[in-house]
Amino acid sequence: MSLIVQKFGGSSVKDAERLKNVADIITKTYAAGNQVVVVVSAQGDTTDDFIEKAREVNLKPSRREMDVLLSAGEQISMALLAMTIESLGYPVVSLTGWQAGIQTSSHYSAAKIHRINTERLSMELDKKNIVIVAGFQGINKYDDITTLGRGGSDTTAVALAAALHADLCQIYTDVNGVYTTDPRICKGAKKLDDISYDEMLELASLGANVLHNRSVELAKKYNIKLEVLSSLTREPGTMVKEVEKVEKLLVRGVTKDNDVARISIVDIPDEPGNAFRIFATLAQHEINIDMILQSIGRDGKKDISFTVATAHMEEAVEALKTCPGIVAENISTRDDVSKVSIVGAGMVSHAGVASTMFEALYNSGINIHMICTSEIKVSVLIDRDKANLAVSAIHDQFRLEG
Amino acid sequence: MSLIVQKFGGSSVKDAERLKNVADIITKTYAAGNQVVVVVSAQGDTTDDFIEKAREVNLKPSRREMDVLLSAGEQISMALLAMTIESLGYPVVSLTGWQAGIQTSSHYSAAKIHRINTERLSMELDKKNIVIVAGFQGINKYDDITTLGRGGSDTTAVALAAALHADLCQIYTDVNGVYTTDPRICKGAKKLDDISYDEMLELASLGANVLHNRSVELAKKYNIKLEVLSSLTREPGTMVKEVEKVEKLLVRGVTKDNDVARISIVDIPDEPGNAFRIFATLAQHEINIDMILQSIGRDGKKDISFTVATAHMEEAVEALKTCPGIVAENISTRDDVSKVSIVGAGMVSHAGVASTMFEALYNSGINIHMICTSEIKVSVLIDRDKANLAVSAIHDQFRLEG
């Protein structure tokens, strides 16, 4: 007997038909002799509907009340899923975040899970119940409802798997697993049977919207075996786990991220402390920086370029204007760019990986604006209208097709 | 400074416009120097929508999961109302049933409030917050969500008023107060400025859908001053309280109830124990009986007639067939009847009240099927198609018009 945590996203439970499909997956897992804990997101467009309703009465509602509102979404879907399972004749109970003992930080709308009191969960599992838990939510020390922010339901699933020492955590999505690149962009995209935590982390942060980074980090920390698979096709997905031997395939995937904007600060004095002041200012505004490029100083001047999420571009520019010595004329921005990356654990020890990527781009006539490398990835910033072409060209160059 | 509990029903908060109207009432009460606790129902059709969603996956869902689902409705409306109040610049916090310390019996979908732990509520009032509480819901000793069943939000409001020793409990509805009869039936209907708990109890149980009986009983028990008023007109409503002197006006109101069906058991042996067996059987099936009429025995046979809610008629008939000595031929039913009643605290001590009512019916050519009287009311069962005529005739006969 294994303990399996299964997480289903909003599209997997969006209506009665999908709920029945999901209930079938869950009860088959249970009937095979497993203990099953299910984490469920709000149905389909519920969250967007709630946000719209809130806007009608308050353009800037408090995060506390927003969390109260949004958390009702999972409460609705968990009850409906439990009822669907009841109709199949299986024992089931649904639990909200607070009922499931999910204790979080006080930070409304972006709370972190501090600990999970598993008393109630264990009691329900001992009673042979299938346990449905509301994803994305918990309570803080004031007994107030919190939500975990983006990717929260994945995080709930992995945290529960860790707390309950689950044998497997399955993340059901609308794709079959993790691919070498986006199948919608490149027909030759191939599904990976397994991938390491670190590779998955790079892929997730690079815009492969399959698993949220927080959940992968947590899975790595507690060594939780993750499986990414489809609730529709029911085929084996991709296992995310500690991969022991270096794989033969150096490059595991090619990804594209459009949520990126470049900010350049040009012609500033080439003297110590400038970079520190710039990035300290941005940190104060809680703006995350991704790629950073600093030109070599010349004529006593230098340039610093970096990328941020597109939503933060305007705020970053305003913040930079408060830095001593930087005026509007020093700042230029571009938001018509994309980041294209290759990821693979074996990459660092093999020469020629980066140059193969650049060759593919050169052959397609694509200009590179910025380059950024890490142990297991190489990223380039290019014009957005060339991004899909770049992904296909790189995928072909590395012969990743299935 | 007074502590005022205000309850708003589903139609009062059904959309952004109504939420703003309600927020205006609440903040004006607060700005006048009062402490304000607000009880809110689910928006408009939310509950019906949830029930429909549940039906799509399970025709007979468990009451536990149904309560989880339905209680999300008040959570949504309380958050939206809190946001609306925030937008007006007032301090506010919303609390679910469990956060507000509302502890109930374990009986899902028909729970009773056992006690209210006012710690959190008092803390929020001390912080000068307007406190919004989800109506209709609580938690039981298993930390499971329960709902209070019909009229639950009124009950929540009165129970909170009792626990917090509130000075006044205002129940906002879509009518201006309690009338001598239904203004849609009888143009001469007059709004009452005040009414006693007992009179309100009879009116409520007789189909004047203004206040649910449970809330009036609770208000009487704890001597809570209730006011029934409209959230739209903002005029003074009807005060429900202990009325000390016997009012001059003997008859306070005329009501009609269409949710009534008559069951007759005819030609059964006139011997002891028959009535006991019949009503014990119905009690086992949790079917409430209203009017009861037993004929005088003749030729060793007698008839017993009684009324039940229309929804229970079929079930009652099936249950009766299991009684020894009763077969299908003994049972006749009618569901095209209505109960029309007059209510007034001074009635019992004044002769001629019942006969004045019967005179009105006679003058209108309306036949009476059953008669039932109590200390403060007289009810008759008549053909449903004559019910509105009966209400107007009685109202005129007693000169209740404003």
Look at residue B41 and tell me if it is in a domain. Answer: yes
Token couple for B10: 């589903």
**Which among A202, A197, A193 is positioned nearest to A229, based on CA atoms?**
A193
Shortest distance, CA A42 to any CA of chain B (angstroms): 12
Handedness of CA B81, B86, B87, B88 (dihedral sign): positive
Q: What is the structure's pLDDT at B246? A: 47
Measured CA to CA, the distance from residue B366 to residue B373 in angstroms comes to: 19
Token couple for A263: 């900010």
Contact between B134 and B97 under an 8 Å Cβ cutoff? The reply is yes
Total number of domains in chain A = 1
> Looking at the partner chain, which of A57, A80, A93 has a beta carbon nearest the beta carbon of B69?
A80
Token couple for B388: 């509105």
Measured CA to CA, the distance from residue B134 to residue B132 in angstroms comes to: 7
Look at residue B371 and tell me if it is in a domain. Answer: no
Structural domain span for residue B156: 3-174
Shortest distance, CA B65 to any CA of chain A (angstroms): 5
Judging contacts by C-beta atoms under 8 Å, the chain B residues touching residue A86 are 58, 61-62, 65
> Looking at the partner chain, which of A50, A61, A143 has a beta carbon nearest the beta carbon of B86?
A61
Contact between A304 and A293 under an 8 Å Cβ cutoff? The reply is yes
Look at residue A371 and tell me if it is in a domain. Answer: no
**Which among A325, A333, A277, A329 is positioned nearest to A307, based on CA atoms?**
A333
Measured CA to CA, the distance from residue B153 to residue B5 in angstroms comes to: 12
Q: Which amino acid would we find at residue A231?
A: S
SS3 B257: strand
Q: What is the structure's pLDDT at A351? A: 63
Domain at A89, CATH number: 3.40.1160.10
Which three-class secondary structure string do you get for chain A?
CCEEEEEECHHHHCCHHHHHHHHHHHHHHHHCCCEEEEEECCCCCHHHHHHHHHHHHCCCCCHHHHHHHHHHHHHHHHHHHHHHHHHCCCCEEEECCCCCCEEECCCCCCCCEEEECCHHHHHHHHCCCEEEEECCEEECCCCCEEECCCCHHHHHHHHHHHHCCCCEEEEEECCCCCECCCCCCCCCCCECCEECHHHHHHHHHCCCCCCCHHHHHHHHHCCCCEEEEECCCCCCCEEECCCCCCCCCCCCEEEEECCCEEEEEEEEECCCCHHHHHHHHHHHCCCCCCCEEECCCECCEEEEEEEECHHHHHHHHHHHCCCCCCCHHHEEEECCEEEEEEECCCHHHCCCHHHHHHHHHHHCCCCCCEEEEECCEEEEEEEHHHHHHHHHHHHHHCCCCC
Judging contacts by C-beta atoms under 8 Å, the chain B residues touching residue A40 are none
Look at residue A113 and tell me if it is in a domain. Answer: yes
Contact A57 B96 (CB under 8 A): no
Judging contacts by C-beta atoms under 8 Å, the chain B residues touching residue A69 are 75-76, 79-80, 83
Measured CA to CA, the distance from residue A293 to residue A303 in angstroms comes to: 8
Contact between B153 and B46 under an 8 Å Cβ cutoff? The reply is no
**Which among B111, B340, B142, B263 is positioned nearest to A120, based on CA atoms?**
B142
**Which among A201, A114, A238 is positioned nearest to A376, based on CA atoms?**
A201
Q: B139 to chain A: nearest residue by CA?
A: A99
Contact between A168 and A219 under an 8 Å Cβ cutoff? The reply is no
Instruction: For residue range B357-366, list pLDDT tens digits in order.
Output: 888 998 999 9
Contact B80 A71 (CB under 8 A): no
Look at residue B15 and tell me if it is in a domain. Answer: yes
A141 to each of A106, A158, A276, B131, B194, how far by Cα in Å? 7, 22, 36, 19, 46
Cβ-Cβ contacts under 8 Å for B203 (sequence gap 6 or more): B178, B195, B210, B252, B253, B255, B343
Helix or strand (DSSP H, E) at B339: strand B337-343
Measured CA to CA, the distance from residue B368 to residue B351 in angstroms comes to: 20
Look at residue A69 and tell me if it is in a domain. Answer: yes
Confidence check: pLDDT of B85 > 90 = yes
Contact B99 A61 (CB under 8 A): no
Q: Which of the residue ranges A30-34, A326-330, B161-165, B284-288 would you say has the lowest mean pLDDT?
A: B284-288
| Between residues A297 and B53, the one the model is more confident about | B53
**Which among A170, A154, A165 is positioned nearest to A118, based on CA atoms?**
A165
Query: What residues are paired with A331 via a beta bridge?
Result: A265
Confidence check: pLDDT of B341 > 50 = yes
Q: Which amino acid would we find at residue A70?
A: L
Look-up: residue for tokens 């609308």?
A174
Measured CA to CA, the distance from residue B104 to residue A386 in angstroms comes to: 62
Q: Provide the pLDDT confidence category of residue B52 given band limits of 50, 70 and 90.
A: very high
Contact A84 B57 (CB under 8 A): yes
Handedness of CA B199, B200, B202, B203 (dihedral sign): positive
Cβ-Cβ contacts under 8 Å for B329 (sequence gap 6 or more): none
Contact between A112 and A148 under an 8 Å Cβ cutoff? The reply is yes
Q: Angle CA(A132)–CA(A11)–CA(A50) in degrees, nearest 5?
A: 85
Rg (CA), chain A: 23
Q: Which amino acid would we find at residue A174?
A: D
Whole-structure pTM value: 0.79
Tens-level pLDDT at each residue, chain A (402 residues): 899 999 999 999 999 999 999 999 999 999 999 999 999 999 999 999 999 999 999 999 999 999 999 999 999 999 999 999 999 999 999 999 999 999 999 999 989 999 999 999 999 999 999 999 999 999 999 999 999 977 789 999 999 999 999 999 999 988 888 888 888 888 888 888 988 898 888 887 666 667 888 889 899 999 999 999 999 998 999 999 886 654 455 788 899 999 999 999 988 887 777 778 888 888 888 788 888 877 776 788 888 888 998 988 999 999 999 888 888 888 999 999 999 999 887 676 666 788 788 889 989 999 888 888 777 888 899 999 999 999 999 999 888 886
Mean pLDDT of the B195-213 span: 78
Residue B311 region by backbone torsions, left for phi larger than 0, else alpha for psi between -120 and 50, else beta: alpha
Cβ-Cβ contacts under 8 Å for A91 (sequence gap 6 or more): A127, A128, A129, A130
Confidence check: pLDDT of B294 > 80 = no
Shortest distance, CA B96 to any CA of chain A (angstroms): 9
Q: What is the structure's pLDDT at B357? A: 87
Confidence check: pLDDT of B383 > 90 = yes
Instruction: For residue range B231-252, list pLDDT tens digits in order.
Output: 998 899 999 988 665 445 578 8
Contact A58 B93 (CB under 8 A): no
**Which among B62, B74, B45, B72 is positioned nearest to B107, based on CA atoms?**
B62
